[in-house]
Structure 1
Amino acid sequence: MVRMHPAPTIGRVLSALLALTLSAAGWAQGPVANCHPLPSELGGKSNVRTKALETNLRPAIVQDKAQRFTLAERMAAYQVPGVSIAVIHNGKIDWARGWGVRDLASCRPVTADTAFQAASISKLATAIMALRAVEQGKLLLDDDINRVLRQWQLPNDPKLAPSGVTLRQLLSHTGGLGVHGFAGYGKDQRLPSFNQIMDGEPPANNPAIRSVLPAGSQWQYSGGGYMVVQAALENSTRMDFSRLAQRELLKPLGMTRSAYAQPPSSDILANAALGHVDGKVLGGGFHIYPELAPAGLWTTASDLARLLLDIQASARGKPGHRLSPAMTKAMFTTGGKDWGLGPAIAGTGENLRFGHDGANEGFQSAMIAYAERGEGIVVLTNGNQGRRLADEIVRAAAALYGWTELDVPSDVELPRSAAELAQASGLFEGGGLSVYLDAREDGLFAQTGGPRPERLVPLSPVRFRTNVSGLVIEFAPDYQSFQLVAGGPPMTLLRTKPQAVKADVPIYLRGSMNGWSIGAPLIKEGPRQYAVRIMMQPGEHQLKLASEDWKQVDFGVSAGATLVPDRGSIALVQHGGNIRLLIGETAAYRFTLKLGDDGKTTLSVSSD
């Protein structure tokens, strides 16, 4: 998943549901940045359907419903150098091929066999391994997970988890554990041990994996919970996770270009994509994720399609697959949040769909399949806006293959003035969500703490659609509340007055450099001054200053301000947008937050 902050967000709700409502843009193997156009055949075989997909991408929001865009145009628009796609049709892989390049340095072509980081799609494969272990009698779904853990145990929490946390809860993100996701490590960084990751100890860049909500009480996405699943699998089978995955899943399914390997083997690297952020190759090519179960799978679109086919066969009642039909049915059973034991779930009956998306630094991906129909798609990209491209690809494929539930019609934008949009600005809370709506000259934006705010596109005076995740909200006539009416579970958010910052509330430096975690607490240096010193890598970073709950403190910027070390301070506002930070070299930097007596809050950064 995209490294958004762990608080529930509008974007996170859609991702959780995998509704795959889609965003916006021709093909020969088109131009990508500084790479010359490549012959189309280098990406793989073409057919009538691949050529139709290449020229029929359309956005969720349009000015003209008849307008279509090419895949090459949309890759360029989202700065995604390469994409690999596999389509399942009539119970088999209909086609698989690549477009674009593996990286903007070598300009080598993406093919059907090019490996990408699967990111959080790793969790679905992990869940299948865990459920298989349950069928083998090695794990229990509803027992305290600590009973099988030996190397490390989840600290007992009599208040939040008096009966412990179960495997069922961990797989369905209802275990109440924290740590939404992981930021990964550069190739020159020291990697933490397993116990250091679990306890949030240096050099781990995540906070400790602990209970933060009552176990079983509500859904909260937790990559940390899947680290506990990894420990349970290793302890119960007495095998390291990578070898267990090969034995129980990857080798039996013929996923020959896949491995839970961090860093990847030379065989994988021989045809692997490198990550890209804003059209530039990620430093070192990719981050390393020692957190294997939640984020560590390298794979291809074809291999993931094989995984989906195996699940579909079992769902149709066929024996002899990785899971029995009964266990597959259990995997699709939701816990009230449209999330099963591993996959996100949408629809019912013959239209029931399952899948997962993922985002590691420089890689984004999505896959979705029908449980009872032999239809589905996998999209892997090597760009940090790849999920938006994947959404458009899924929409185009849905139109070609008749997947009505995924072929969502485009909406037409209604022009609105800044003054009209200002009626909707402010803080809204409800259903566990906290969203700040910011009216600007260029539109209404939802500040949810993610890497970029989502624009809310007006469809009527009171109805809006998010331009990335495709959620539809409708305001009350007085703009004192709004309802989520499409793309997510029905809920109402009420206008709320932002709370004043209390002097005793812990504040953390949270951003893309640490997975939006609370691993960098600010130290109070004076009555209204706080500071923290951390190591930073070169490049552009997104960050905010916030409390653990993102409600009491959530400092950001009101406009697109950029923070540069040793160049003064910038003004902050509660529930503002993400702060853009530019770092020139690897070094320790000091961040200083000042709460002025006049209500003015500033942030500065200096090289140490």
Structure 2
Amino acid sequence: MRHVMGVGIALYAIAAPASLAAQAPPVTRPAAAAAPTLASLDSLITHSMDEAGIMGFSAAVIVDKRVVWMKGYGFMDWQRTRPFTPNTTAKVASVAKPFVGVSMMRAVKEGKLSLDADINRYLPFRVVNPHRPDVPITLRHLATHTSGITDRWEIYRATYTFDGDSREPLLSFLTAYFTPGGKYYAKENFLEAKPGELRDYSNIGAALAGLIVERAYGQPLNVYTRQHIFTPLKMTHTGWFMRDVDRTNHSTPFVSQSGFTVPIPIYGGTTYPDGALRTSVSDLSRFFIAMLNNGTYEGTRILDSASAAEMRRFQLTDANRPTNFPAADGNTGLFWRTKFNGLRVGHGGNDPGVEVEMLSDVAGNVGVIYISNTSLSGTDRRATGAIFDALWKYGEHIRATGSPSSR
């Protein structure tokens, strides 16, 4: 998860950086009723939104690689005049990372990159852990969050830009972060452990992978992904920057605490590959189905089947498991990981004004995607947990019976 930063209002608490938040105990989720009906789904979702102060919410249920249910609720604007629909664009935080993963795997397939080579082969500056300069960092390390690169909070928080897209180039920021003597450089940008030894969720590490993809193809990631992912999949509501999407279709983000909901500015980020993607539930469902279907959606291939399988494959074994990430905590693919004790796979995302999940079972038979334009804190987060559980049970029911529950 991208960490959630404070937005300067008294009601919204500043959360810990992702490296700490990722270690927090999971939120307890209320059990949903078995096989919910369409009417009970509507009731649960609208009630949960009202109780938690969620302004807008959209979701899709996927069964056997096809969407069986999709709907939006609430509003995309603070005036409550425009509905939040499956086609409404919103920032999706760390759900951006699998798009970096697909782009990376395409470059690996084409021989432009290697997952296990020293990343310095591909960069115009050097990235060396000063604590372990003898051990190279690889793309596989970056994609499994075992590189030893950390998100130094006092630097990373400044990468959020609340007046539109960031004006600092990705290359400029990363050069200054990793080059000794650079504006953002410090030994604390790295763990003291060698690459591969510890798992520490790193947004900046993901952004570095995005830059490496850009260098491999000789074009910005936003341009490459539009040509090779968004356009082929007809993801018409998707882009990385505000200049890439229809601003009138972009939801306002909100933060809520104890049911009190406050709008905040639409914002961007300097390290955009780690979490600045903007998309809709309808668009995201196309990408997710392609990932679950070995790289193909309705005859359109965005990734060859072997590369898709490698991206989803659990990378950690007893021989290479990080010492701080026991088997009970799950496993990880390449910008793809397990959640809920290994029972769900995919990716999620959280940022100010957004909460997203894109998860399936390990076999890819049932999946749920949701985008909320409201970030929650404390016990309010149980609301989206309850909604997710109900949608999941609905998907399981569809797969078991072949038909929707009674209205």
Kindly provide the CA deviation profile for residues 84-117 of structure 1, in whole angstroms up to 9, marking residues without a partner as x: 1111123211122210000213531111100110
**Shift in alpha-carbon separation, 1:128–1:22, aligned structure 2, 3 A:** farther
Give ranges in structure 1 of 5+ residues lacking alignment.
Answer: 26-47, 56-69, 405-608
User: 1:49, CA displacement in angstroms?
Assistant: 4.9
2:314 aligns to what? 333
Higher strand share: 1
User: 1:328, CA displacement in angstroms?
Assistant: 2.5
Kindly provide the CA deviation profile for residues 440-476 of structure 1, in whole angstroms up to 9, marking residues without a partner as x: xxxxxxxxxxxxxxxxxxxxxxxxxxxxxxxxxxxxx
Whole-angstrom distance in 1 between the partners of 2:135 and 2:53: 48
Aligned counterpart for 1:73 among listed residues 47, 51, 64: 47
Determine whether 1:292 maps to 2:272.
Answer: yes
Amino acid aligned to 1:306 = R
1:313 aligns to what? 293
Determine whether 1:345 maps to 2:338.
Answer: yes
2:190 is paired with a residue whose SS is coil
Kindly provide the CA deviation profile for residues 146-198 of structure 1, in whole angstroms up to 9, marking residues without a partner as x: 11112x432x2353242321000000000010117854111179733324432
2:71 is paired with a residue whose SS is strand
Whole-angstrom distance in 1 between the partners of 2:45 and 2:338: 28
2:129 aligns to what? 157
- Bigger drift between 383-392 and 227-236 goes to 383-392
User: 1:9, CA displacement in angstroms?
Assistant: 4.4
1:178 aligns to what? 150
Whole-angstrom distance in 1 between the partners of 2:90 and 2:206: 20
2:103 aligns to what? 129
Aligned counterpart for 1:91 among listed residues 62, 65, 90: 65
Determine whether 1:187 maps to 2:159.
Answer: no
1:112·1:300 contact (CA, 8 Å) conserved in 2? yes
2:369 aligns to what? 378
2:129·2:148 contact (CA, 8 Å) conserved in 1? no
2:150 is paired with a residue whose SS is coil
Give ranges in structure 2 of 5+ residues lacking alignment.
Answer: 5-14, 326-330, 399-407
1:242·1:259 contact (CA, 8 Å) conserved in 2? yes
1:111 is paired with a residue whose SS is coil
Higher helix share: 2
Aligned counterpart for 2:231 among listed residues 239, 251, 261: 251
User: 1:313, CA displacement in angstroms?
Assistant: 1.0
Q: Tell me the matched-pair count.
A: 354
Amino acid aligned to 1:91 = K
Query: Larger Rg: 1 or 2?
Result: 1
Kindly provide the CA deviation profile for residues 325-370 of structure 1, in whole angstroms up to 9, marking residues without a partner as x: 322232222324412111112589xx96311111121111111013
**Shift in alpha-carbon separation, 1:50–1:141, aligned structure 2, 3 A:** same
Amino acid aligned to 1:382 = N
1:397 is paired with a residue whose SS is helix
1:396 aligns to what? 390
**Shift in alpha-carbon separation, 1:206–1:378, aligned structure 2, 3 A:** farther
1:274 aligns to what? 252
1:74·1:389 contact (CA, 8 Å) conserved in 2? yes
Determine whether 1:197 maps to 2:185.
Answer: no
User: 1:10, CA displacement in angstroms?
Assistant: 6.9
Whole-angstrom distance in 1 between the partners of 2:102 and 2:165: 31
Amino acid aligned to 2:126 = Q
Deviating beyond 6 angstroms after TM superposition, the runs of 4 or more aligned structure 1 residues are 204-209
Kindly provide the CA deviation profile for residues 205-243 of structure 1, in whole angstroms up to 9, marking residues without a partner as x: 987694324211111100010111111011110001110
Kindly provide the CA deviation profile for residues 27-74 of structure 1, in whole angstroms up to 9, marking residues without a partner as x: xxxxxxxxxxxxxxxxxxxxx95433123xxxxxxxxxxxxxx32221
Amino acid aligned to 1:71 = I
1:180·1:222 contact (CA, 8 Å) conserved in 2? no
Whole-angstrom distance in 1 between the partners of 2:18 and 2:129: 21
Please provide the CA RMSD for this pair: 3.3
Aligned pairs (5 A) from 1:193-592: 193-198=169-174, 199-200=176-177, 210-212=189-191, 213-261=193-241, 263-265=242-244, 267-278=245-256, 279-284=260-265, 286-314=266-294, 321-331=301-311, 332-335=313-316, 336=321, 337=325, 338-345=331-338, 353-385=344-376, 388-402=382-396
Whole-angstrom distance in 2 between the partners of 1:251 and 1:384: 29
1:54 aligns to what? 42
Amino acid aligned to 2:45 = L
**Shift in alpha-carbon separation, 1:205–1:147, aligned structure 2, 3 A:** closer
1:132 is paired with a residue whose SS is helix
Kindly provide the CA deviation profile for residues 252-293 of structure 1, in whole angstroms up to 9, marking residues without a partner as x: 2221111111x344x522212111122444343x22123221
1:5 aligns to what? 16
Whole-angstrom distance in 2 between the partners of 1:54 and 1:205: 51
Kindly provide the CA deviation profile for residues 392-412 of structure 1, in whole angstroms up to 9, marking residues without a partner as x: 1111112223279xxxxxxxx
Instruction: Give the TM-score normalised by the residue count of structure 2.
Output: 0.77
User: 1:244, CA displacement in angstroms?
Assistant: 0.7
Determine whether 1:102 maps to 2:76.
Answer: yes
Amino acid aligned to 1:131 = M
**Shift in alpha-carbon separation, 1:172–1:319, aligned structure 2, 3 A:** farther
Whole-angstrom distance in 1 between the partners of 2:164 and 2:234: 33
2:90·2:251 contact (CA, 8 Å) conserved in 1? yes
Amino acid aligned to 1:153 = R
**Shift in alpha-carbon separation, 1:21–1:398, aligned structure 2, 3 A:** farther
Instruction: Give the TM-score normalised by the residue count of structure 1.
Output: 0.53
Amino acid aligned to 1:339 = T
Kindly provide the CA deviation profile for residues 517-558 of structure 1, in whole angstroms up to 9, marking residues without a partner as x: xxxxxxxxxxxxxxxxxxxxxxxxxxxxxxxxxxxxxxxxxx
1:137 is paired with a residue whose SS is coil
2:161 is paired with a residue whose SS is coil
2:274 is paired with a residue whose SS is helix
**Shift in alpha-carbon separation, 1:375–1:315, aligned structure 2, 3 A:** farther
2:393 is paired with a residue whose SS is helix
Whole-angstrom distance in 2 between the partners of 1:207 and 1:96: 45
2:268 is paired with a residue whose SS is coil
User: 1:11, CA displacement in angstroms?
Assistant: 5.4
Whole-angstrom distance in 2 between the partners of 1:168 and 1:124: 13
User: 1:24, CA displacement in angstroms?
Assistant: 8.1
2:19·2:202 contact (CA, 8 Å) conserved in 1? no
% same residue: 23
Kindly provide the CA deviation profile for residues 554-574 of structure 1, in whole angstroms up to 9, marking residues without a partner as x: xxxxxxxxxxxxxxxxxxxxx
Determine whether 1:167 maps to 2:139.
Answer: yes
